[in-house]
Structure 1
Amino acid sequence: MAVHKLVLDNLFEESSYTLIGLHCTLEDYRIAYLLNRYLGINLLRKPLDLDFNNSMSSYSVFEWKDNKHLTTWNLVSNICKREVDLKRNYGSLFEIQDPVIKTYNLIPEYKQVNYFLKIENEYTDSREKYFVNRILRIPQIVTAYCIDANQLKSKNNLIFS
């Protein structure tokens, strides 16, 4: 009896994208404005934030779909700070609730990165370097660099649709 084998390597191919990490202390709307100005794009805030763990952490998302080049640009914050109440019992009759600021990260492997710029298209290395160099011209950005998304353990957090 003959055995037939089906190969599905190309069927489940992941979409390729460029991921750029941004270090800065600006608010999300301000960094979106500066990226629009320096890169000639039009990032707009999405009506709903990216929500994880039943609203324990939420991350702002800006998006622009470039129909001319068939490219989707996303700017997403990596850091979410929430105030949570920590219940403590000091051996007294009543519990005391202390407010504590807890920090959550969208991509825990890159805790120092403030924002990620995700460009969904197949760009060459020279084009990626061009974007990074344009971003580094923005005085308020401390540093920016490309990140290999294939090495990320939590790359599923970068799915925004």
Structure 2
Amino acid sequence: MALHKLQVDDFIDDSYKLIAIHCRIEDYRLAYLLNKQLDLKLKRKEKDLDFKYLESSYSIFEWNNETEYIMWNLISNVCKREEDSLSSSGTLFTESEKVLKTFNLISEYQKVDYFIKISDEIQNVNEKLILNKLQAIPQIITSYTVDPLKIKSKDHLIF
């Protein structure tokens, strides 16, 4: 009797494009500029992406363009959280020092501030045109495409 195995990877469909953005502005300002420049309608989702038992959370903006069958997502790659530092006991005075910890959604790209994930079923998105429009925004330092197949932590982009 022949055995048939189904691999989980057989059902994963990587039909999305990923664009990395380097800029130092707040997420809501970037979403506004993207809406204006690319003619999008990105809105912040009610719940952020949370990982490692609420250790880090990342803002996410989304727009489902139903006429062109394209889902647009703007995801923050950086989460900065202020935590109490560990101090040794036995001192006369207890001072609580705060330490700023930085977490990244995609750890391979620690310098990237935001990602744009474009999920298109028909494959009709012109990446070069989008990159040219992104470079026209003065607040964006640089932007470039990223191959999703080369990312080790691509599971973080499933939402």
Q: TM-score normalised to the size of structure 1?
A: 0.88
Q: Which residue of 2 aligns with 1:116?
A: 115
Q: Which residue of 1 aligns with 2:149?
A: 150
Among all aligned residue pairs of Structure 1 and Structure 2, give the percentage whose two residues are the same amino acid.
47
Q: Which residue of 1 aligns with 2:105?
A: 106
- Structure 2 Cα separation of the partners of residues 87 and 7 of structure 1: 47
Structure 1 residues 89 and 8: CA distance shift in structure 2, 3 A: closer
- Structure 1 Cα separation of the partners of residues 5 and 17 of structure 2: 31
Structure 2: 5+ residue stretches without partners: none
- Structure 1 Cα separation of the partners of residues 37 and 31 of structure 2: 10
- Structure 1 Cα separation of the partners of residues 15 and 30 of structure 2: 24
Structure 1 residues 18 and 82: CA distance shift in structure 2, 3 A: same
Q: Which residue of 2 aligns with 1:84?
A: 83
Q: How many residues align?
A: 158
Task: Tell me the amino acid that sits aligned with residue 152 of structure 1.
Answer: I
Q: Which residue of 1 aligns with 2:27?
A: 28
- Structure 2 Cα separation of the partners of residues 9 and 159 of structure 1: 14
- Structure 2 Cα separation of the partners of residues 47 and 69 of structure 1: 24
1:127 CA drift (Å): 1.0
Task: Tell me the amino acid that sits aligned with residue 69 of structure 1.
Answer: E
Alpha-carbon contact 1:79-1:106 (below 8 Å) kept: yes
1:14 CA drift (Å): 1.3
Alpha-carbon contact 1:81-1:104 (below 8 Å) kept: yes
Q: Which residue of 2 aligns with 1:62?
A: 61
Q: TM-score normalised to the size of structure 2?
A: 0.89
1:13 CA drift (Å): 3.9
Structure 1: 5+ residue stretches without partners: none
- Structure 2 Cα separation of the partners of residues 54 and 10 of structure 1: 26
In structure 1, the residue corresponding to 2:111 is in which secondary structure?
coil
1:105 CA drift (Å): 0.3
- Structure 2 Cα separation of the partners of residues 9 and 107 of structure 1: 22
1:9-35 per-residue CA deviation (whole Å, 9 max, x = no partner) reads: 995141410000000011000000000
Task: Tell me the amino acid that sits aligned with residue 69 of structure 2.
Answer: L
1:96-143 per-residue CA deviation (whole Å, 9 max, x = no partner) reads: 43210000000010000000000001536x811111111111111000
Alpha-carbon RMSD: 2.2
Task: Tell me the amino acid that sits aligned with residue 37 of structure 1.
Answer: K
Q: Which residue of 1 aligns with 2:15?
A: 16
- Structure 2 Cα separation of the partners of residues 41 and 93 of structure 1: 58
Structure 1 residues 93 and 106: CA distance shift in structure 2, 3 A: same
